[in-house]
Chains A and B, each alone.
Chain A
Amino acid sequence: MTTTTFNFKRVYVWELPVRMFHWITVFSTTILIITGFIIADPPAIQSNAEASNSYWFGLVRAIHFVTAYILIANLIFRIYWAFVGNQFANWRNFIPYTKKGIKNILYVLKVDIFLMPDKEHKLSNISIGHNYLAAFSYTIMTLFFILQTMTGLALIGDTSSWWLPKFFHFMVPLLGGDIVVRYVHHILTWLFMAFIVIHVYLVLYHDYVEARGEASAMISGFKFIRAERVDEKEEDIIEKAETQMWEGDKEE
């Protein structure tokens, strides 16, 4: 008895540092959004205690700042990893500057966003790592994240004694005052939340429609790839990955 499904091979796509980056981002962004909204609109707690005996709001702010620094360090690490990590972690995935990248974006828009029928059924159209549209959206979110960091650091720059937040104080005269800086910081939070909704939904969509372990890949690191896309011998895979890294899939 032969199985009627295609054969799949387990491919290591997301290396441990990439997965760590992802989950640190998830946890710290969640903490930052929650503490951020508390700071923006704190609950009015009435208490008979002397102010000097409690510090919960200061603590919320401290958590916000510390988490922000963790996220900054995390992003710096990920940028480093974009140069030393595997082919799916490489920075070239994130900027659609090749013909292949642009073609892939159009394909994803057509088939996955507008749900038009895929007549070609070409395996190479299905990305093994990020598709180029998703990867490009991460680049854009990274730029927004950098802007978020700059506005955040600008706001604490005045009371900080470290040169880094002090350096970003230039954002204040640039944007016309703390009130504008705070406002930009606040609006961007909503943008990140909208991004999270779309991102999580699309992961679930891909997992559901393609059924090759899209969601669990960020936990295990592995995705299931059609066997015909992977050369038989393991040595060959390694060789292929190294020599043809950026020439695209070659199975046609």
Chain B
Amino acid sequence: MIESKNKNETYLQAVLKKGYTRRDFMKFVTYMTAFMGFESTMIGQVAKALETKKRIPVIWEHFQECTGCSESFIRSDHPLAADLILDSISLDYTDTLMAAAGHNAEEAKQASMKENYGNYILVVEGAIPTKDDGVYCTIAGRTAVEILKESAKGAAAIITFGSCSAWGGIQAAYPNPTGSVPVDAIIKDKPIIRVPGCPPIGEVMTGVVVHYATFGTLPELDDMGRPKQFYGKRVHDSCYRRPYFDAGLFAETYDSEEAKKGYCLYKLGCRGPVTYNACGFMEWNNGVSYPIKSGYPCIGCSEKDFWDNGPFTERLENLPGFGIEATADKIGKIVVGAAVAGAAVHAVASNIAKRKELKTHEEKGILNEKHIKE
């Protein structure tokens, strides 16, 4: 894989060599330009960049993860999207997909990092355990923390692909037994692009790489470090069931007639209104569907600590520190109930404690009443 690559070839040369036609290439460019949120007049610029610029090397590290993000990525909508990274752009190291193994793989990575020092993009998939000197995730005898620090050193930018490397993910969920942290807790001095999701949409990463290749800069990020063009809108605001939300038509069970008709899944715990992602307009599996379209509410998988904000099937999530079953409404009812009960007790007590004052008022008042002049 690595040996066969000509380090100086452009994206176009690489894809032509893979057997794609120029027409496929142009289709891909059009498609990516639209995904990146640019006007159609930008297609020319993107195409020219990919025709003339040298490929950007990518090193892909895997830590505490399920490899679902890689799965999502290699099943990108457009075959070229995945090929561009996996075969054509250059994936100089990824333990899951590379051909080399053992010492050869590690050597290849070292060689690539050395050769492309300061120029490669580091993709991180999975969280990094820090407890007990990071022994909970080791590759080739070295801990994830150590490997991450080494690979980040020469990276131009880091893409944290998936909720684990972006926010900590499932292993960082309560009680976080291995002390897992996201990448930005360890690496402070590199631009980090969060691409959260469990898994994230594959095109988002291709989009970031193509953006970097075209303009030499990273895409605009929002205030939580995510590329704006993909995470700028809530799932709710691009949801095809949104008219049902505004009309107040809500499904109450998954298998109901209403759910099939397309009623809003809000009451089934849909996290769409609090989740920023591109599912609503990019969709999954070649644009076939996405969870809400398939009748299941969004679980907010690209939001921070979404595992701890369960249960997914209810609007309200558990209140930390008050036990599994406690929701804010239950606590609220207790608080308001206590206020009412307190007021009632106080009312009784004040009738007893202030009996003298009340009696005096009453006696004097009655006396006055007796002496009203006509």
Contact = CB atoms under 8 A, between A and B. Distances in A.
Interface of A: 1, 3-5, 40-42, 44-47, 49, 51-58, 60, 113, 115-117, 158-159, 169-170, 172-173, 176-179, 181-183, 186-187, 189-191, 193-194, 197-198, 201, 205, 208-209, 211
Contact of A4 (B246, B339, B350, B368): B368
B237 A41 contact: no
B140 interface: no
A4 B266 contact: no
A78 B243 CA distance: 39
A183 B273 CA distance: 12
Given A5-B368, A115-B353, A187-B332, A55 B246 contact: yes
6 contacts: A47-B249, A57-B246, A179-B271, A186-B316, A187-B319, A197-B343
Given A44-B250, A173-B223, A209-B358, A3 B328 contact: no
Q: Main SS of the interface on chain B?
A: helix
Contacts of A5: 364-365, 367-368
B339 A179 contact: no
A3 B274 contact: no
Interface in B323-370: 328-329, 331-333, 335-336, 338-340, 342-343, 346-347, 349-350, 353-354, 357-358, 361, 364-365, 367-368
A193 B332 contact: yes
Given A45-B249, A56-B247, A159-B234, 12 more contacts: A5-B364, A46-B258, A57-B246, A60-B248, A172-B224, A179-B306, A179-B317, A182-B273, A183-B317, A190-B328, A197-B340, A211-B361
Nearest to A184: B328
A53 B234 CA distance: 24
A171 B360 CA distance: 55
A191 B329 CA distance: 11
Interface stretch (B41-49, B122-130, B297-305): B297-305
A42 B267 contact: yes
Contact of B349 (A53, A115, A117, A187): A115
A190 B275 contact: no
Contacts of A193: 332, 336
A158 B237 contact: yes
Interface of B: 223-224, 233-234, 237, 243-252, 258, 262, 266-267, 271, 273-276, 300, 303-306, 309, 315-317, 319, 328-329, 331-333, 335-336, 338-340, 342-343, 346-347, 349-350, 353-354, 357-358, 361, 364-365, 367-368, 371
A189 B335 CA distance: 11
A137 B8 CA distance: 71
Nearest to A209: B354
Contact of A51 (B246, B328, B332): B246
A176 B303 CA distance: 9
B246 A41 contact: no
Contacts of A1: 371
Contacts of B246: 51, 55, 57-58
A189 B332 contact: yes
A177 B339 contact: no
A40 B329 CA distance: 10
Nearest to A56: B248
Interchain residue pairs A-B with the least CB separation, the first 10: A190-B332, A57-B248, A178-B274, A115-B353, A58-B246, A201-B343, A51-B243, A197-B339, A51-B247, A54-B247
